[in-house]
Amino acid sequence: MNQDVFLKKQWFIMSHEGKIEQYYDINLKKVIGSGTYGSVVKATLKGTKNQRAVKVIPKSKVKNPDRFKKEIDILRQLDHPNIIKLYETFEDQRNVYLVMELCEGGELFDRIMDKGCFSEAEAHEIFLQIMQALNYCHTNGICHRDLKPENFLFLTKAEDSPIKVIDFGLSTLFEDPISAKQAGNQKVTMKTKAGTPYYISPEVLKGSYDESCDIWSAGVILYILLSGVPPFYGDSDPEILDAVQKGEYTLEIPEMKAVTESAKDLISHMITTPEKRYKASQVIQHKWMKDGSKQTKQLKLNFGQLKNFTGSNKLKKVALTFIASQLNEQEITDLGKQSLNTKKRLFKQLDKNGDGVLTIEELREGLTGMSDSQAKDLANVIKSIDTDGNGTINYTEFLAATMEKSLYMKEEKLYQAFKMLDLDGSGKIDKHELQTVLGKSDNIIDEKYWDDMVREADKNGDGEIDYNEFIEMMDKFSLLN
């Protein structure tokens, strides 16, 4: 029987009960962000130089625990280069802690304030990332509901830093992606009045809306990026809301004089009535989104890179997927041949329709250095990379499959992966631990599978995998085929 264990990225986002201070050096007084989401502090993973952002939420402040759980569940599912990554969560008596990737480049809001407005090329670079994240969310049935420049953070202080969407505190699932596929897209109309005056859409104010409210907000953001002024304004919140409700705005202002017709055309298809409003996928396909892009050097994905992963044994794939899920962008941008930044660009270049996952066709088009026999093998290779079995390659799967050995063989990475599997901390991984970590929900796997998984790495034959065996396995199984 062709049996394989599915690896879902969210399983590698562990939730710990107990002290976060055991794992992180954390300075609760050094607040790096605040606002609607509570306080965010900086922390360092002990024994490493890995810096992360930790959102601290006092349990006493959580008014609606179900709503709060939903936010965390949504964050766990998301897997996209322009959406903040959740690494793990902690819970003690007093607080819940969300450990996330650290963004140190400030808010988009502040850059708008500093610059006034952006050149069309700069706005394009930012807006493309916003729309790719949004298209990914909507494709996965998630509506953000509170898009505004405060909720986009730059990873670094660099001019060309990537941008990350944060704060899914108001986000909601508008359809159940699985049942939607079966039942022909059952849409839910949402009713909560949520959002921020400048960016909120009129139908949200009326109280009946769907995910297209995000497109309106994104349209307002594009308007502001290009002109430096908001399309709906007033001296107070009620006045702004009044202007939004009327829905009248103009593109014929002095600040927009230098802006191309193409950009204005796109805005007019976003800030408009829900019936006429573009879907995220239509925005991505709009002329301005395409021709605004600088013709950057075409990147190539080498077939050999993918093939290595395919040759890996079962346990190694698990470890690689874990390591990929924990990677941080900054620590590797300066590492080795292909930086993560290049990886990210490569992923996006391959992802032709911008939905944040790669299909067989998209991969086939982007692959180079394939012989005829390898081309025939492609379907199998892809099946092997698609470790969660959903038929496409998502961002973490792509990183896991193309990760350089010099990166994953780093001692601290291997140690973290080993610790994740060694549940009782005995220094050895046994069959039951593998079963517990990986044998979740839709994995119905027989005993032999787990026995094999241990046996493939268990050199001394004691039925368990110790740290040395683990390292040897990670080192060895890469050059097969």
Q: Is 53 in the site for ligand PIT (CB under 6 A)?
A: yes
Rounded CA gap, 467 and 118, in Å? 52
Structural contact between residues 445 and 3, judged by C-beta atoms closer than 8 angstroms: yes
Q: What is the DSSP string of 298-314?
A: PP-EEHHHHHHHHHS-H
Q: Is 146 in the site for ligand PIT (CB under 6 A)?
A: no
For 35, the token pair is 């606002």
* Residue nearer to ligand PIT on the CB measure, 60 or 182: 60
Rounded CA gap, 161 and 179, in Å? 38
Written as one letter, the residue type at 448 is: K
**120 Cβ contact partners less than 8 Å away, ≥ 6 residues apart:** 226, 258, 259, 260, 263, 292
Question: Which member of 13, 108, 117, 166 binds ligand PIT (CB under 6 A)?
Answer: 166
Written as one letter, the residue type at 352 is: K
**Of 476, 312, 323, nearest in space to 399 by CA:** 323
Q: How far is the CB of 105 from ligand PIT (least distance, A)?
A: 9
* Residue nearer to ligand PIT on the CB measure, 32 or 299: 32
Q: Is 327 in the site for ligand PIT (CB under 6 A)?
A: no
Please, which of residues 175-204 interact with ligand PIT by CB under 6 A? none
Q: Is 33 in the site for ligand PIT (CB under 6 A)?
A: yes
Q: How far is the CB of 39 from ligand PIT (least distance, A)?
A: 9
Length of the chain: 481
Rounded CA gap, 226 and 230, in Å? 10
Question: Which member of 4, 6, 16, 32 binds ligand PIT (CB under 6 A)?
Answer: 32
Question: Which member of 87, 118, 136, 168 binds ligand PIT (CB under 6 A)?
Answer: 168
* Residue nearer to ligand PIT on the CB measure, 33 or 231: 33
Query: 193: helix, coil or strand?
Result: coil
Q: What is the DSSP letter of 353?
A: T
* Residue nearer to ligand PIT on the CB measure, 144 or 316: 144
Q: How far is the CB of 92 from ligand PIT (least distance, A)?
A: 19
Please identify, among the stretches 31-39, 127-135, 207-215, 247-255, the one whose residues bind ligand PIT according to the rule CB under 6 A. 31-39
* Residue nearer to ligand PIT on the CB measure, 32 or 205: 32
Q: Is 54 in the site for ligand PIT (CB under 6 A)?
A: no
Binding mask 60-99 for ligand PIT (x = CB under 6 A): -----------x---x--------x---------------
What's phi and psi for 116, nearest 5 deg?
A: 90, -75
CB atoms within 10 A of CB 446: 9
The residues that are catalytic are: 146
Q: What is the DSSP letter of 328?
A: -
With CB atoms as reference, the residue minimizing the distance to ligand PIT is: 33
For 131, the token pair is 């729309």
Please identify, among the stretches 165-173, 293-301, 323-331, 355-363, the one whose residues bind ligand PIT according to the rule CB under 6 A. 165-173
CB atoms within 10 A of CB 218: 24
**Of 33, 22, 73, 79, nearest in space to 56 by CA:** 33
Structure-derived torsion over alpha carbons of residues 151, 250, 293, 279, reported in degrees to the nearest 10: 70
Please identify, among the stretches 126-134, 164-172, 287-295, 432-440, the one whose residues bind ligand PIT according to the rule CB under 6 A. 164-172
Q: Is 149 in the site for ligand PIT (CB under 6 A)?
A: no
Q: At what angle do helices 395-402 and 372-385 cross, to 10 degrees?
A: 120
* Residue nearer to ligand PIT on the CB measure, 168 or 249: 168
Tell me: is residue 405 an annotated ligand-binding position.
no
Q: Is 57 in the site for ligand PIT (CB under 6 A)?
A: no
Residue numbers belonging to the annotated binding site for ATP: 55
Residues lying near ligand PIT in the complex (CB under 6 A) are found at: 32-33, 37, 40, 53, 55, 71, 75, 84, 100-103, 153, 166-169
